[in-house]
Amino acid sequence: MAKEKRISLKDVANSVGVSPTLVSIVLNGKAKQYRIANEMAEKVIKTAMEMNYSPNLIARNLRGGKTQLIGLIVTDISNPFYSAIARIVENRANELGYTVVFSSSDEDLGNTKKLIDVLLSKGVDGLIIVPCDGSEDIIKNLHDSNTPLVLIDRNFPDLDVSFSCLNNYKATELTTKHLIEQGYENIALVGYKTGMNHILDRIKGYEDTMNAAGLGKYIQEKKVNLLNTKVEMSSVLDVLVNKKKVEAIIFLTNMLAVTGLYCLKEMNVRIPEDVAVVGFNRNDVFNLFSPTITYIRQPLELIGAQAVNILVDKINHGELEIKAMTYSEPQLVVGASSLRRINN
Amino acid sequence: MAKEKRISLKDVANSVGVSPTLVSIVLNGKAKQYRIANEMAEKVIKTAMEMNYSPNLIARNLRGGKTQLIGLIVTDISNPFYSAIARIVENRANELGYTVVFSSSDEDLGNTKKLIDVLLSKGVDGLIIVPCDGSEDIIKNLHDSNTPLVLIDRNFPDLDVSFSCLNNYKATELTTKHLIEQGYENIALVGYKTGMNHILDRIKGYEDTMNAAGLGKYIQEKKVNLLNTKVEMSSVLDVLVNKKKVEAIIFLTNMLAVTGLYCLKEMNVRIPEDVAVVGFNRNDVFNLFSPTITYIRQPLELIGAQAVNILVDKINHGELEIKAMTYSEPQLVVGASSLRRINN
DNA sequence: AAGTTTTGCTAAACCGATTTAGTTATATAT
DNA sequence: ATATATAACTAAATCGGTTTAGCAAAACTT
């Protein structure tokens, strides 16, 4: 069976008996502007509909230099947090007439560089990136080359690059205050080794709140390596729970919280009797765990949609100079894992 | 700062002092075939490298070439099962020099149709699709138009369309046998309303195994609607557990299992004492739940990579007529939720 | 009635690559 | 010495749109 030829603009033009130019003008809604006769315009539109014409975007884009393609680089699309973001980005992008090309950097600098090159060579009109540790220079170069670009989830405060992310400071401030209100004092934090701003902000939110409450002496921060999280997490939690006798643990990411819960379960640590726990980002695990886990909820809809909006603005209006900075507000979803400590 | 113009083929040609034709030929590795002098070929390649030339894929594709773009349509990229597949498809595609464009159909026929059109209009070289209920005609048309196409996770046995999916029959056969071996007899199944083959196969695997074990009288199948799963699941489970007194429940998808666990938890049903449970596809929830949940593991790596392999074969060799059918083998991961029933 | 404006439409360039059909110069054959 | 073959390269068409410049006919001025 032969591949059916798609109806082209020329086909419609021939059918009506006019030039392709006229058809193009009419179908782009510029009939008035070009003083095309009303009758003629209607006839063209009718014929195009009848012939089931749809424009070849590739041809259109070749002329216009645009692909209506947005590149999305996350660290790992199979991470539910990022796939949730991907879905929101997809939806908003579709609404605005764009399609999303995605790639996973695996938190790797070399990959990031390669993926950016590949996506640019595919002709994406702009990029939404979750930048990985150490990618500041790459991002700066990309921005300097005037590629429409928005960072999401993480950002580099020193760069003039637009971003859409959580108010991370407030997230741990909320969390820490909540735990303190619940009667906890010896509150520890588990993050991972990175110089990335989003994590540093979360750490600062915790530290400031602890200090403000006069609990500075209890500040304890453990950092695990992202590569063999499971093993390191075990020893970190062993130290915190068994040696340091902490009363509560704040996990700085969803993955850390899930891994932490695995380990705590294996260690037969009771939550919150032995230690209270707060996680990060929604996860079915938190709701189905016994007890349910308290966590910070990010307004993903907002964060994702904003990123697309900013990017498309840049693509369309070339407002590349303006640095759009959007910090969305976290919410604390309280479960049973951070219940009030019984005064003893 | 002005956006630097991308280097075009013509720029390279001018720089070397030859025609664009020659540059095109050399860079496409056809120098020998067109008897281009070795010296000249080397010079062109060197200059192209120095100028950091990369071909404009839009132009290339317009001419009738390829975009090295693969379209992936899943039902929902934010569903961890599909984002896991997406990641594997991405990896394999990248290895073969392709980039992935994704879209979510939301199990909707209209969306599916629209997304296919959009992806084709973006010039994807081929499509990997998780077809939704009722999409058989759309898929048939697509296949008939000779678009390289592979179905994944689900398939239409009546169509000559290649696919890569689980041996679904064997999945529930394994599950049911396991439960029977553990001493369960009154085993029910919870699926959703659909005519899709993958679910029908799973149902058949259960029925056949029950019948073969002489437990036909216990066969009970409940189907919930995918739209308000939570509400329907509650009533379905209420009937199964409280009225029908079933001993074990097999959930036919990951989402059903997770939702089911929510409901069972709310109902304070003990697992496996009151009712045993088996889920589908790995999920952190299953491992962190108390008790851990037995589930069917799909070899996602294999399923995803196969789909890409088949598709790229079709794209490259135009082997559109050959129907590649790959069924990958399920594994049963045994947790505590299906522990041996104490004889009473 | 001649000049000007407006109306309604089209030819042709263009985007950046690929490909077909040549062309020219040199080498080989007869 | 003329015909033929081969080597090395190029002009121009092509993909399917968009856009610019411009043309012919009708309508309007003065």
Q: For residue range B205-258, what is the model confidence (pLDDT) as tens digits?
A: 999 999 999 999 999 999 999 888 889 999 999 999 999 999 999 999 999 999
d(CA A277, CA A338): 6
Cβ-proximal residues to A335 (8 Å cutoff; 6+ apart), any chain? A286, A287, A291, A292, A293, A294, A295
Amino acid identity for residue B285 in this structure: V
* A227 DSSP 8-state letter: T
- Burial label for A140, CB within 10 Å (0-12, 13-18, 19+), is middle
User: Is the C-beta of residue B65 closer than 7 Å to nucleic acid chain D?
Assistant: no
- The whole-number pLDDT of residue A245 equals 94
By the 8 A CB rule, do B248 and B188 touch?
yes
- CB A37 under 7 Å to nucleic chain D: no
Radius of gyration of chain B (CA): 26
Q: CA of A121, closest CA in chain B: separation in Å? A: 7
Residues near B84 by beta carbon (within 8 Å), at least 6 away in sequence = A78, B300
Give the helix/strand (H/E) hosting B295.
strand B294-297
What span, in angstroms and rounded, lies between the C-alpha atoms of B130 and B134? 12
Protein A38 CA to nucleic acid C4 C1', in Å? 25
Nucleic chain C contacts, protein chain A, residues 50-109, CB cut-off 7 A: 59, 62-63, 65
| Whole-angstrom distance, CA of residue A20 vs CA of residue B166 | 50
* Type of residue found at A208: D
Q: How far is residue B49's CA from residue B34's CA, in Å, rounded to a whole number?
A: 21
Per residue in A274-316, pLDDT tens?
999 999 999 999 999 999 999 999 999 999 999 999 999 999 8
* Angstrom distance (rounded) from CA B102 to CA B68: 14
A43 bridge partner residues: none
Bridge-based pairing state of the strands A331-333 and A294-297: antiparallel
Task: Determine the residue type at A31.
Answer: A
Q: Which residue has the tokens 């929902």?
A: B76
Average pLDDT score, chain A: 94
Start-to-end C-alpha separation, chain A: 81
Q: Which amino acid is it at A45? A: I
Q: What 3-state class would DSSP assign to A74?
A: strand
Coil/strand/helix, residue B165:
strand
Residues from chain A that touch B122, judged by Cβ atoms under 8 A, are 57-58, 67-69, 99
| Exposure of B339 in the CB half-sphere (CA atoms within 13 A) | 12
Q: What is the mean pLDDT of residues A227-241?
A: 93
Farthest-apart Cα atoms in chain A, separation: 91
Cα–Cα distance, B172 to B170 (Å, whole number): 6
Q: Give the closest residue to B299 by CA, choosing from B170, B156, B132.
A: B170
Please state the rounded mean pLDDT for residues A89-117.
96
A153 pLDDT exceeds 80?
Answer: yes
Q: What is the arithmetic mean of pLDDT over A256-273?
A: 95
Report the C-alpha gap between B149 and B126 in whole angstroms.
6
Residue B2 is predicted with a pLDDT of 45
Q: How far is the CA of A265 from the C1' of D18 (A)?
A: 64
Q: Which two tokens stand for residue B96?
A: 């073969």
Q: Which H helix or E strand runs over A11?
A: helix A9-16
Stated in angstroms, how far is A20 CA from C9 C1'?
Answer: 11
Residue A192: what pLDDT? 94
SS3 assignment for A286-314: HHHCCCCCEEEECCHHHHHHHHHHHHHHH
Q: What is the pLDDT of residue B66?
A: 83
Tell me, what's the pLDDT at B156?
97
Tell me the shortest Cα–Cα distance from B216 to chain A, in angstroms.
33
Kind and range of the H or E run holding B70 = strand B69-74
Instruction: Spell out the per-residue pLDDT of chain B, length 344, in tens.
Output: 445 678 999 999 999 999 999 999 999 999 999 999 999 999 999 999 999 898 988 898 888 778 889 999 999 999 999 999 999 999 999 999 899 999 999 999 999 999 998 998 888 999 999 999 999 999 999 998 888 999 999 999 999 999 999 999 999 999 999 999 999 999 999 999 999 999 999 999 999 999 999 999 999 999 999 888 889 999 999 999 999 999 999 999 999 999 999 999 999 999 999 999 999 999 999 999 999 999 999 999 999 999 999 999 999 877 667 899 999 999 999 999 999 866 54
pLDDT of residue B209: 98
For chain A, percent helix, then strand, then coil, each to nearest 5?
Answer: 45, 15, 35
CA distance B160 to chain A (A): 13
- In the 8-state DSSP scheme, what is residue A107? T
The radius of gyration computed from the CA coordinates of chain A, to the nearest angstrom, equals 26
Token couple for B283:
């999920």
Q: Which chain D nucleotides are covered by protein, judged by CB under 7 A?
A: 7-12, 14-20
Q: In this structure, what DSSP letter does residue A243 have?
A: I
pTM of the model: 0.90
What is the interface size between A and B, counted as CB pairs within 8 Å? 140
- Does A99 contact B119 at a Cβ distance shorter than 8 Å? yes
Residue B64 CB lies within 7 Å of the nucleic strand D: yes
Residue type, B163: F
Which residues fall within 8 angstroms of residue B174, CB to CB, at 6 or more apart?
B296, B330, B331, B332
A83 chain-B contacts, CB cut-off 8 A? 77-80, 82-83, 86
pLDDT computed for residue A2 by the predictor: 45
User: What whole-number distance in Å separates Cα of residue B68 and Cα of residue A276?
Assistant: 50
Q: Do B62 and A62 touch (CB under 8 A)?
A: yes
Count CB atoms within 10 A of the CB of residue B227.
10
Check A288 against B101: CB less than 8 A apart. no
Q: What distance in Å separates the CA atoms of residue A127 and residue A307, rounded to the nearest whole number?
A: 10
Residue A4: per-residue pLDDT: 59
Q: Which nucleotide is nearest to B28 (CA to C1')?
A: C18
The pLDDT of residue B121 is 84
3-state DSSP assignment of residue B218: helix
- Exposure string for B251-260, b = 16+ CB within 10 A, e = fewer: bbbbbbbbbb
Q: Give tens-digit pLDDT for A74-85.
A: 999 999 999 999
For chain A, strand residue ranges (E) read 69-74, 99-104, 126-129, 149-152, 163-166, 187-192, 220-224, 248-251, 276-280, 294-297, 325-328, 331-333
Query: What whole-number percentage of chain A has pLDDT above 90?
Result: 86
What was the pLDDT predicted at A319?
Answer: 64
Distance CA A314, CA A321 (A): 9
The CB-side HSE value for B21 (13 A sphere, CA atoms) comes to 4
